[in-house]
Chain A
């Protein structure tokens, strides 16, 4: 990364780190929610579904604000996390990861649900008659068959996490080396006199990363289709 300045490469590495944490953290929740929303009938399902999709329609700054209220040092969840587990979210990269996770969560769940709806339930019945209990059936049949959706969801969410701006800057501010991810660095460069060329380089990096994510996603999808013979 010879042609990147220290600040730029720091923002790039931080972005990748935040996006990875965000995806790893939200993956199990997203799989569980996709399964619950697709396979279970219960009162309040529609409300839960709407709630999951809320970040798609809310201004990101509102999400950031709500996170501040809930996960701030004096918030009901944030205060407990800090006292009980020593986890600080506000002004930290973990906080940035949480903000991006919440914002990209609906994209992840959507991709997984589409994939799960295409899994033939007859195969789960077959697994049942062959002696597989509920979790075993899910792990050995359902999950492998919805894997294309899980991967697509993870890659989409990762790409979206790289680009999340509003919720991050509202919740964890813009601290170099800790929460200043690529879009925040780009925004900062634009605010700085003479930062034009830096802004351009950061924009190019963002484009390359986004394109790479899309290509990777397509490659995975093809590979999985070939294995499953579709």
Chain B
């Protein structure tokens, strides 16, 4: 369990944050630029002293202003991947990687071979840092942080300085780390796609304050998300289990709640988990079992709540067997169909609008 609480007053800015992360897990600190995400991460790392606060990782207390505990950053065993990578320009890649390894305060559980293998760094070892591309720099920075044998990894917008294609070069490596190493991570981002692919938990920050937190599925339904990600990106994120491949269509069958979705996805074995984003704008609600439609996916559920949404529409929350999803329909439709909490409904979605991510 990672526990973080911090208060800091500056002239025009107040940090007042508190969150918890079950370990191992990946918590996304999510919010607009300038909302205090980096400040909070610096407090966790020990690079910034808060007015008051507490940082504890499992049974280690790293900071507790009430009890006068303030471990210096060099002893906290927290790996930090900076937005601007901060590789040492006077050292080659290999020496950069080994910088933290040489100074590690614990037996090595991550060695150079493992990191070189996981992050594909072998060909870069003898390069100088200014000869690296942006994506390569960040991979080296991640490797360097990992080799310091950290108990926690902080990643401060590691992909923000990269363009979309470079970002796609680095993201799979981060997914591999999450899956292969049981190191808890705090991932700072204002890009929801990255969060969707990496995070298990999400802490929502607004102007220095942590306003909501929870696991990613619950947070995907949180009403305050819309203001940051935009109405079009609102939708449930559900983690399903792969049942197998449909013999007739070749699509992957994923169990979600009591229902089943058919998605396009390569290389996933039955039993593995698959994360699917069901955008509210893509869902269609029916009050009778649908017939004669091309739609491949129909999830039976019960309406649990109806909320007002943008442009004279409603957000309908539907329980599909312990899992909630959301559909955006016009208020007209809500009225005509007589949608109300407790009503059994079918949520329809085209396979083409589903974006699955292996997790």
Residues of A within 8 A of B (CB): 120, 122-123, 125-133, 136, 140-141, 144-145, 147, 227-230
Roughly how many angstroms separate A144 CA and B89 CA in the complex, as a whole number?
Answer: 10
Does any Cβ of A come within 8 Å of B79's Cβ?
Answer: yes
The answer to whether B74 touches A126, judged by C-beta atoms less than 8 angstroms apart, is: no
> Are B86 and A126 within 8 A (Cβ)?
yes
Nearest B residue to A137, CB-CB: B74
A126 cross-chain contacts in B, Cβ below 8 A: 80, 82, 86, 88
Residue B84 is within 8 A (CB to CB) of chain A in the complex: yes
CB-based contact B148/A130 at 8 Å: yes
Interface of A is mostly: helix
Beyond A125-B73, A130-B145, 5 additional contacts (C-beta under 8 Å) are: A122-B84, A128-B72, A129-B73, A132-B74, A227-B90
Give min CB distance, A47 to chain B, whole Å: 29
Q: Name 13 A/B residue pairs within 8 A (Cβ), A-sorted.
A: A123-B88, A125-B47, A126-B82, A127-B88, A129-B46, A129-B73, A131-B75, A131-B104, A132-B74, A136-B103, A145-B89, A229-B89, A229-B128
What is the CA–CA distance of A133 and B63 in the complex, to the nearest angstrom?
18
Task: Report whether A129 and B80 are in contact in the complex, using a CB–CB cutoff of 8 Å.
Answer: yes
Given contacts A136-B103, A229-B128, A229-B129, A129 and B89 within 8 Å (CB-CB): no
Q: How far is the CB of A52 from chain B (nearest CB, A)?
A: 27
The answer to whether B131 has its CB under 8 Å from any CB of chain A is: yes
> Which residues does B use to contact A, with CB under 8 Å?
45-47, 72-80, 82, 84, 86, 88-90, 99-100, 103-105, 128-131, 144-145, 148
Chain A residues positioned under 8 Å from B131 (CB to CB): 229
Q: Which of B47, B88, B90 contacts A129 (CB 8 A)?
A: B47
CA distance A159 to B104 in the complex (A): 44
Interface centre among A129, A144, A147, A228 (most CB of B within 10 A): A129
Residue contact B100 to A131, C-beta cutoff 8 Å: yes
Chain B residues within 8 Å of A145, by CB: 89-90
- Please, how many angstroms separate the alpha-carbon atoms of A1 and B78 in the complex? 62
Q: Which residues of A contact B82 (CB under 8 A)?
A: 122, 126
Q: Collect the chain B residues with CB atoms within 8 Å of residue A130's CB.
A: 74, 79, 99-100, 103, 144-145, 148
Nearest B residue to A122 via CB reads B86
Closest CB-CB distance, B259 to chain A, in whole Å? 46
Residues in A whose Cβ lies below 8 Å from that of B73: 125, 128-129
A residues less than 8 Å from B103 (CB atoms): 130-132, 136
